[in-house]
Structure 1
Amino acid sequence: MAQQKSSIKYYDANDADTETFHDAYNDSNRHNNISLASWEGCFLKSFDEMDDHLAQEVNTDSYCSGCTAVTLIKQGDQLIVGNLGDSRAVLCMKDRDQLISVQLTVDLKPDIPSEASRIFNCEGRVFAAEEEPDVYRLWMPDDDCP
């Protein structure tokens, strides 16, 4: 895909399971006119930045927490969506003076068969803890921790 760097708009929404962090981080994390060479680079950069930010947050209890992200790149009339975790992107469109919603992503929950298969292929495990029997989580291959 040909890149028109001056017309690329990049948006992300990350959720680190703490609302204050989520709001404060995202208010300052809207990017305009990204000059990366590719949209893949935009997505990887966003996810790497979030990993680094979470690693520096000493007040974040990450033992049973996770992080989800939806990233969008708008270039001209094209919309490229990246999704990690169980976040959801929904597009609102106008159709004959009515607003309609179009779901752009699928929640990647670990108990969905295709997602569980992907996790198993990466040597991860999926199960619900005894104290939260309805919440399936991704677990480390050899440790009893998510």
Structure 2
Amino acid sequence: MSEDVIFCGVFNGLGLRGHLVAHKIQDASPLKLILSLHFHKSRRNRSSKVGFKGNIELDNIESEKDISTEDELNSTWRETFLKAFKAMDKELKSHPNLKCFCSGSTTITILTVDLKLDLPTERIKWCNGRVFALQEEPDVLRVWLPFDNAPGLARARAFGDFCLKKYGVIYVPEFYHHTFID
């Protein structure tokens, strides 16, 4: 990706074929992130002449905007992850051998916040998915189809698990950026 960046992730397979989905994501996501980052950087370089002010072309709009380097870096990485994760989920859906309709994988990269199913920001209930715990696991909330007690996914965000996508399970990551200073 970059000389000063290390990508670390944990890929947790869910469902009957989840281990295959997790391995696919583990193998493919670093390249997708690299390609997404290069695409973002080349797009930014091509648009260095950003706009017009009257009849005068602006070579550098930095003076017009008050964007710090930190904000720009954060925005670059956010867009990079969103684009790469979208491509990963799309690839899983069309992969002929994975059959990940009811199997998938969660992913944690570097730092994370536990995105519990009962958080107001999670959209499961808004999308007619059901969220409840089984009697034998009262502390584990799970996502269920509105018409069936399946598949019982204990995550709000996952790659694959396409049977639950229209009921609020998404691949979109929560993104936080922290800069460590030596």
The TM-score by the shorter chain falls in which range?
Answer: 0.3 to 0.5
Larger Rg, first or second structure (1 or 2): 2
Structure (1/2) with the larger helix percentage: 2
The structure, 1 or 2, with the larger RCO (C-alpha pairs under 8 Å, 6+ apart) is: 2
Structure (1/2) with the larger strand percentage: 1
TM-score, length-normalised on structure 1? 0.47
